[in-house]
């Protein structure tokens, strides 16, 4: 009874818990925060999207989770709890055991993961044998199983091929197969379909969705495209200028955005545009880290801005699962 209760509590606890994460980049002109006050949780098997334009802080958040920040950036505060550890304070060796093992990462460009001078089979075996004491034959069998799981045609033939012999979509399938090699609990996918054409993009998203369901893997999907997250994720975080400005269940955020920035991203989706119409765009651009405006950092681009918006930074205030950092959150009447 006590064990059952303990198991139940463990299953309910978040798999990953990120609290008040802050990343700082020291520049010649002074230190700047690339992300601040970033907090969220991911449950076992849950699919979370992090959305925003380039420079919003999405990828920095992903790299900060795994303590993989490029120098001179560093974690200036906050915690990342996973499997009883705070990844923000673990030493490099313990972190290496978690990266690519319990938490895998997929990048936009498959060639960031694939070694161009090794066959697919050789690099998959190498990756497996780096983490597990298994024979070459066992490694080959597992590699083949994973290639079949990502539905690569003629999987056995692919083992002997080099990355340049595969199409872009096929290379991304191989990268996903590599991410699955260690049966991870979480996959972090950073713009995994941006480099692919639209049809292949849809296939890869469907594949990620199926794999997460089949293997109960949690997914953090990072993208600039709200259309992509709406197809795959259950919850969304919207980031702007290094902060979370909106969060909520995916369908609610898409149907009724609270933050004007989310509304702008939605209006800019090609499917919102009628044939012959020009794509709508949010005026202006994301501020650089050195020039984040005072008050609400979105105010120079916001059609609803009022005097207070340039003076006071709005808190991320929550009502249940929904939250938005805006002095005048949108409502159906506006
Ligand atoms: Fe726009 Fe003001 Fe809300 Fe910022 S706080 S998003 S400027 S309405």
Domain membership of residue 286 (yes or no) is yes
Distance CA 66, CA 68 (A): 5
Please spell the DSSP secondary structure of 8-59, one letter per residue. HHHHHS-SEEEEEEEEEEEETTEEEEEEEEEEEEE-TT-EEEEE-STTSSHH
Ligand 1 centroid to residue 229 C-alpha, Å = 24
Residue 7's pLDDT is 53
Domain membership of residue 93 (yes or no) is yes
Residue 334's pLDDT is 44
Domain membership of residue 187 (yes or no) is yes
Is residue 180 within 8 Å of 149, Cβ to Cβ? yes
Residue 273's pLDDT is 65
Distance CA 292, CA 313 (A): 11
Specify the ligand 1 atom closest to the Cα of 302: 1
Residue 4's pLDDT is 60
What long-range pairs does 27-34 form, CB within 8 A, spacing at least 24? Answer: 27/289, 27/290, 29/290, 30/290, 32/289, 32/290, 33/76, 33/242, 33/289, 34/60, 34/73, 34/242, 34/289
* Local mean pLDDT, 10-residue blocks, the chain (334 residues): 53 85 91 95 95 95 92 93 91 87 89 91 92 90 95 94 93 93 93 85 90 93 91 96 97 95 92 70 92 96 97 91 94 48
- Cβ neighbour number for residue 69 with a 10 Å cutoff: 16
Q: Looking at the 3D structure of the chain, how many domains does it have?
A: 1
Distance CA 38, CA 57 (A): 10
Ligand 1 centroid to residue 280 C-alpha, Å = 19
Domain membership of residue 173 (yes or no) is no
Specify the ligand 1 atom closest to the Cα of 303: 1
Domain membership of residue 262 (yes or no) is yes
Q: What is the CATH number of the domain that holds 319?
A: 3.40.50.300
Ligand 1 centroid to residue 283 C-alpha, Å = 14
- For 7, the token pair is 């198991």
In which domain, by residue range, is 257 found? 2-102+182-271+280-324
Residue 197's pLDDT is 85
Pocket-forming residues, ligand 1, beta carbon under 6 Å: 259-260, 296, 298-299, 302, 304-305, 309, 314, 326-328
Ligand 1 centroid to residue 303 C-alpha, Å = 8
- Helix/strand/coil percentages in the chain, nearest 5: 40, 25, 40
Longest dimension (CA), the chain: 68
87: CB partners within 8 A, 6+ apart = 65, 66, 67, 80, 81, 95, 98
Residue 30's pLDDT is 87
Domain membership of residue 237 (yes or no) is yes
Q: Decide: pTM greater than 0.85.
A: yes
Residue 227's pLDDT is 87
Distance CA 34, CA 23 (A): 5
Residue 9's pLDDT is 47
């Amino acid at each position: 009874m006590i064990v059952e209760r303990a198991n139940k509590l463990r299953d309910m606890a978040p798999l990953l818990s990120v609290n008040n994460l802050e990343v700082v980049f020291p520049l010649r002109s002074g230190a700047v925060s690339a992300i601040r006050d970033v907090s969220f949780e991911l449950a076992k098997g849950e699919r979370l999207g992090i959305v925003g334009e380039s420079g919003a802080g999405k990828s920095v958040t992903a790299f900060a989770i795994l303590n993989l920040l490029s120098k001179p950036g560093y974690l200036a505060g906050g915690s990342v709890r996973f499997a009883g550890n705070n990844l923000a304070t673990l030493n490099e060796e313990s972190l290496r055991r978690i990266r690519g093992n319990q938490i895998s990462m997929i990048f936009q460009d498959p060639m960031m993961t694939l070694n161009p001078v090794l066959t697919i089979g050789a690099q998959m075996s190498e990756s497996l044998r780096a983490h597990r004491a298994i024979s070459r034959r066992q490694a080959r069998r597992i590699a083949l199983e994973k290639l079949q799981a990502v539905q690569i045609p003629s999987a056995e033939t692919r083992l002997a091929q080099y990355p340049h012999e595969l199409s872009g979509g096929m290379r991304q399938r191989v990268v996903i197969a590599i991410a699955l090699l260690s049966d991870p609990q979480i996959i972090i996918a950073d713009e995994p379909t941006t480099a692919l054409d639209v049809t292949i993009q849809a296939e890869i998203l469907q594949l990620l969705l199926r794999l997460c369901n089949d293997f109960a893997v949690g997914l953090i999907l990072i993208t600039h495209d709200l259309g992509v997250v709406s197809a795959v994720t259950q919850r969304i975080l919207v980031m702007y200028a290094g902060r979370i400005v909106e969060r909520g269940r995916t369908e609610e955020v898409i149907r009724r955005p609270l933050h004007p920035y989310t509304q702008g991203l939605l209006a800019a989706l090609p499917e919102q545009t009628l044939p012959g119409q020009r794509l709508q765009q949010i005026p202006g651009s994301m501020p650089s880290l050195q020039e984040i405006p005072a008050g609400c950092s979105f105010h120079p681009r916001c059609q609803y801005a009022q005097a207070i918006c340039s003076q006071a930074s709005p808190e991320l205030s929550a009502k249940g699962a929904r939250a938005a950092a805006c002095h005048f959150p949108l409502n159906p009447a506006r």
